[in-house]
DNA sequence: TGTTGACCTTGACGTTAGGGCAGGGTCAAG
DNA sequence: CTTGACCCTGCCCTAACGTCAAGGTCAACA
């Protein structure tokens, strides 16, 4: 299967597929004319990759997941560990973003939003250092 | 004030300050020897920038905020609009991350985490396309 | 047979917001 | 006069591709 068909099948772009090959994640065969030939196994790997990426895993994390996916002798504990790591990252990120959102929401609520220059948002951002809400 | 003192004062790095200058955000004077000289206004701008960055605004968004900050004739409505845009982005990102976290949490909960290769996480990631939780 | 248009190849550069390093100039203290 | 702590510019690096350019290949159609 050609690269663009493989890409469409797996909901990816041709550029992504070339990238995955360049970093050694999914390496297709080559036909005599130099065209990439994606086989059934590659297509499965690419789908797995696409789903892993969609779940927020980085390419390096995907590399580890893919290794486990390909290894029938894997231990589910290893998979779980990777997932839990990602979960921790997600939680940390969520906490951070929540705080930003809460602050920003308050600031927006207190901003008149009219033609006057007085604005609590600007004031907060310019405060040298003090108790900030 | 020298660049490293300015950086320390504003909780930034010298590299960041040089970067902000290179993109025209905060441009200090130069002394005869070529050293950057950060004045009171630059320090205020940099603090404002640091706080804006910490609130999740991109440098381009910071550029607009800085423009409003510097302009005494600004309308708070313009500031509010930028903040609301950022808020929308944050909400969208939070929603996305929440969904990821919820799915991942379920998958982790259902993974035995032992030495067996059977793992719902791997299974979910390799499903060609079906109803996924 | 020739030619077009759609596909494929590689390679280089752009993106964000700086980090890190190399090579070299400047300054203040001892 | 030297040493160490600064400062300067410029280049390459990050993640995960997107975009563009120049050129090779292929299948169909006149």
Decide: helix, strand or coil at residue A36: strand
Per-residue confidence (pLDDT) for residue B128, from 0 to 100? 75
Q: Which residue of A has its CA nearest to B46?
A: A126
**What average pLDDT score do residues B125-132 get?**
70
Question: Which nucleotides in chain D have some atom under 7 angstroms from a protein Cβ?
Answer: 6-9, 15-19, 25-26
D23 C1' – B128 CA distance, angstroms? 37
Q: Which residues between 107 and 126 in chain A have a beta carbon less than 8 angstroms from any beta carbon of chain B?
A: 107-108, 111-119, 121-122, 124-126
pLDDT band at A128 (very low <50, low <70, confident <90, very high): confident
Q: Is the pLDDT of residue A133 over 90?
A: no
- The Cα–Cα gap between B70 and B65 comes to 9
A to B CB pairs, distance under 8 Å: 160
What six digits make up the tokens of B52? 């804006």
B132 neighbors A54 (Cβ within 8 angstroms): no
Per-residue confidence (pLDDT) for residue A132, from 0 to 100? 46
**What average pLDDT score do residues B69-97 get?**
96
What six digits make up the tokens of A36? 């990439």
Q: Is the pLDDT of residue A68 over 50?
A: yes
Q: What is the 3-state secondary structure (H, E, C) of chain B?
A: CCHHHHHHHHCCCHHHHHHHHHCCCCCCEECCCCCEECCHHHHHHHHHHHHHHHCCCCHHHHHHHHHHHHCCCCCHHHHHHHHHHHHHHHHHHHHHHHHHHHHHHHHHHCCCCCCCCCCHHHHHHHCCCCCCC
Mean pLDDT of chain B: 94
Q: Which nucleotide is nearest to A35 (CA to C1')?
A: C8
Q: Is the pLDDT of residue A15 over 90?
A: yes
Report ipTM for this prediction.
0.89
Q: Which residue of B has its CA nearest to A105?
A: B87
A41 touches strand D (CB under 7 A): no
**What average pLDDT score do residues B97-105 get?**
96
Q: Is the pLDDT of residue A129 over 90?
A: no
Per-residue confidence (pLDDT) for residue A49, from 0 to 100? 97
Per-residue confidence (pLDDT) for residue B127, from 0 to 100? 86
- The Cα–Cα gap between A94 and B90 comes to 10
**Which domains, and CATH codes, for chain A?**
3-126 (1.10.1660.10)
From the list A83, A94, A119, the residue facing B121 with the nearest CB is A83
Q: Is the pLDDT of residue A74 over 90?
A: yes
Per-residue confidence (pLDDT) for residue B29, from 0 to 100? 97
- The answer to whether B95 faces chain A, any CB pair under 8 Å, is no
Mean pLDDT of chain A: 94
- The proportion of chain B whose per-residue pLDDT surpasses 70, expressed as a percent, equals 96
Per-residue confidence (pLDDT) for residue A20, from 0 to 100? 98
Per-residue confidence (pLDDT) for residue B133, from 0 to 100? 46
Per-residue confidence (pLDDT) for residue B53, from 0 to 100? 97
Tens digit of each residue's pLDDT (9 = 90 or more) over A83-108 = 999 999 999 999 999 999 999 999 99
Binary contact (B103, A68; C-beta < 8 A)? no
CA of A118, closest CA in chain B: separation in Å? Answer: 6
Q: Which positions 53-82 on chain B have a beta carbon less than 7 angstroms from any atom of strand C?
A: 53, 58-60
Binary contact (A76, B115; C-beta < 8 A)? yes
């Amino acid at each position: 299967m050609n690269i663009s068909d493989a890409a469409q099948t797996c909901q990816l772009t041709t550029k992504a597929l070339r990238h995955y090959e360049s970093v050694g994640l999914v390496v297709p065969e080559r036909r005599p004319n130099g065209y990439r030939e994606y086989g059934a196994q590659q297509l499965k790997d690419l789908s797995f990759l696409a789903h892993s990426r969609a779940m927020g895993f980085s390419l390096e994390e995907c590399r580890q997941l893919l290794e486990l996916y390909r290894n029938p002798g894997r231990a589910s504990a290893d998979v779980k560990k990777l997932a839990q790591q990602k979960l921790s990252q997600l939680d940390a990120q969520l906490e951070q973003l929540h705080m930003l959102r809460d602050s920003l929401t308050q600031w927006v609520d207190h901003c008149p939003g009219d033609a006057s220059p007085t604005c609590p948002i600007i004031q907060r951002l310019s405060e040298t250092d003090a108790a900030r809400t």
